[in-house]
Structures are given as structure tokens and as C-alpha cells.
Structure 1
């Protein structure tokens, strides 16, 4: 079996849940998958492919996801890498396309990552921290805007592509 790393970075568990669903779909494709918080990843050499996701907070990736890319850029350049971010909330969140932050875009280009996917996020007013977050969470942006069918379809495409690109 081919080992795939699915790493995630987030604050309240929404991005972790996306990573777990991606891993489940990849396993359905016969792949061996490990799911880790990006802060726990020390190296990527043992993985044939990597999927990395970050929650978006005010158009920024979580620092632990950026550090994973920076520390492992050379090794990531030698394997297929897919990136995703979650975070748009409110009406239209499911169809929103959000560009990578500039620093992450440069790293993605350096490692020749596949096109980044944007998924709607989850904003729970009970978990919102800080004045701005509480104000945003109190309005129309509160709720769960993750499209699980779209996430599963994207993961299934990755599963097919890993099986084609990486010898089992």
C-alpha cells in the first residue's frame, strides 16, 4: 500500500474534520493514510504523497501549516502534493475561490503543488475568540458551510491520481 500524509492546521476542529473525511476516502481507494496535525509533522520523506490543509483566518493560513511547507519544501518537491483551505463562511461560501496567501503561493509554486482547493468553513459562535470573531460569528456567517460531497469528490480524485502516479 502507498502511504499518504493528510495534515491539517486549524483552531476549532473544522479543518481536522475535513482532513479525516479526505483520509477516509483515500483509504477507500486502497491507500494507507496517516492524519496528523501539521504541528506534529517532523518530516515527509516516508510518504509517497501529501495533502495539507489549513483553516483560513482573515485570508491567512495557520502558521503551523506554513512551517510544514517551509521546513519540508525540498522533500515535498519530489512527491505529489495537494493543498486545501477552509474558511469562507456565509452565503456563497460553497462556491468561493480564495487565493493562497502570497507566502504560501510562493511555497506552492516551489514544490509544484497541485491547484489549491477552497472549501467552505464552519463558524460556531460559541467557539469564536476575540471581538472581531464574535462580531462575524453573530451574523449571517455563522454556521457550517462545508460541502461534504464536494470534499469527498476532491479526495476521490486525489485517490485515483495517487494510484496512477505512485507505484504501489
Structure 2
């Protein structure tokens, strides 16, 4: 039976959701039972063998739904393999260098023993929700900086780790 993996995410404008869906799709193609779900709608993680949590970055903090999900499920998350990702830089920096987790995410990683964190570029386009987001787009600071080949490669590596561990049992 394949490992059941949850990819939970917090997003405002849908960019992080698209990353989470890409991660789950790659994992499913690798033979895992993976599903992407909005973090706010997940009622528990005990039925999952592993969890990936992603959050959009806003003013140096993870999306509130991702933070709340981790806090609400901290005991169960500490008992299974967990990976984190962030999305947010509105420039090519995430594709050019490793961007460490913001302090709140780093603390959550340490508390849970999360295996890894990666930051992917963000996306902010016309029609974005929020006054600040609309102002950024209007001032030419928006765009799509997500690197889907890098996202897919990371998801494939995580899937490979999970599959390898299951085979070693």
C-alpha cells in the first residue's frame, strides 16, 4: 500500500495552492497517495503517513492558515515525516540561492523535527486580493517567479525519500 501524503497549504491568492497541487501531483506519479488540501479545511493528520506544509510569505510571516495548521496538529506532526515550503519572493532570488525559512517557520521546524524547508518564488498578478498586494502589482512589483521544474524536482526527491523508507521496512 502506498504512503498517504498530505500537502497542506495556506494561500491568499492561489499561488501557493498551485505549488502544493504540483507537489501532490509529482508524488502521485511516483506512486504515493498524495493530496493537496487548504490547511484551514484539514481536520486532522492521523490518517496520513507524511505531511508537507506550505505557506505563502507575507511581510516575513507564513500565511496564517499554515501557521494555525501546524499549531493545531503539532503533536501528530511530530510523529511523522514533515517537510515545509514557503512561497513568496517576488523576484528571481529563490531560483538563484537557498533562502532560509523565516524565524517562525524555523521555530516550527525545530519543534517538530521537520526534515527540510525550501523557499520557492512567489506570484502576484493583476486581480490580487488585498490593498498592499494591489499596490505592489500597480507599482510593477508583481509577476510570476515560481520555478515549476525546481518545485517538481524537490517533490520528486521528497517522494523518493518516502518510497525508499517504505521499502527499507
Aligned to 1:94: 95
Runs of 4+ residues deviating >4 angstroms = none
**Structure 1 stretch displaced more, 114-123 or 149-158:** 114-123
Contact 1:83–1:116 (CA<8 Å) still a contact in 2?
A: yes
Q: Does residue 1:116 correspond to 2:145, yes or no? A: no
Unaligned runs of 5+ in 1: none
**How many residues are paired up?**
167
Contact 1:90–1:140 (CA<8 Å) still a contact in 2?
A: no
SS in 2 for 1:19: helix
In 1, the alpha carbon distance for the partners of 2:139 and 2:94 equals 14
Which runs of structure 2 are paired with 1:14-93 in the superposition (5 Å)?
14-93=15-94
Deviation at 1:125, TM superposition (A): 3.0
Unaligned runs of 5+ in 2: none
**What per-residue deviation string (whole Å, max 9, x for no partner) do you get for residues 40-95 of structure 1?**
11211111100110011111111111111111111111111010010101243433
TM-score normalised by L of structure 1: 0.91
Q: Does residue 1:137 correspond to 2:137, yes or no? A: yes
Contact 2:92–2:121 (CA<8 Å) still a contact in 1?
A: no
After superposition, the Cα gap between the structure-2 partners of 1:77 and 1:99, relative to the gap in structure 1 and judged at 3 Å, is: same
Aligned residues: CA RMSD:
1.7
Deviation at 1:126, TM superposition (A): 2.3
TM-score normalised by L of structure 2: 0.91
